[in-house]
C-alpha cells in the first residue's frame, strides 16, 4: 500500500487529531485514514437530489404535468 508523510502539522491540529481518534476508539493513523477516505469518497445521492441538482444546473426545468385524457383504470384481480 502507498504511504504518505505529512510534515509541519501544527501542534494544535495534531492534538485535535489524537483527541478525535481517541473519541472514535482508534489510533491517530487510523483516524487520519478514515478522514481521508471520507473526504475522497464519492457521495451517494438519491434520485430526488440528483434531479434537483440537474434542474439547478440548467436554471430550472419545465415539466409537462398534464395527464392524458384517457386514464387507464388499474387491473382488478379479485
In degrees and rounded to multiples of 5, residue 5 shows phi and psi of -110, 130
Q: Please give the radius of gyration of the chain, using alpha carbons only, rounded to the nearest integer.
A: 25
| Residue 9, pLDDT score | 95
pLDDT tens across 6-60, in order? Answer: 999 999 999 999 999 999 999 999 999 999 998 998 877 888 888 888 888 888 8
Is the confidence at residue 64, as pLDDT, over 80?
Answer: no
Cell of 65: 404535468
Quick one: pLDDT at residue 77? 93
Between the alpha carbon of residue 28 and those of residues 7, 8, 10, 46, 60, the distances in Å are 15, 16, 15, 33, 45
| pLDDT above 90: residue 71 | no
pTM here? Answer: 0.55
Amino acid at each position: 500500500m502507498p504511504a504518505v508523510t505529512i510534515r509541519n502539522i501544527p501542534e494544535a491540529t495534531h492534538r485535535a487529531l489524537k483527541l478525535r481518534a481517541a473519541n472514535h476508539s482508534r489510533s491517530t493513523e487510523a483516524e487520519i485514514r478514515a478522514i481521508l477516505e471520507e473526504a475522497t469518497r464519492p457521495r451517494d445521492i438519491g434520485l430526488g437530489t440528483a434531479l434537483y441538482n440537474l434542474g439547478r444546473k440548467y436554471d430550472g426545468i419545465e415539466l409537462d404535468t398534464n395527464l392524458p385524457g384517457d386514464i387507464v383504470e388499474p387491473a382488478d384481480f379479485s
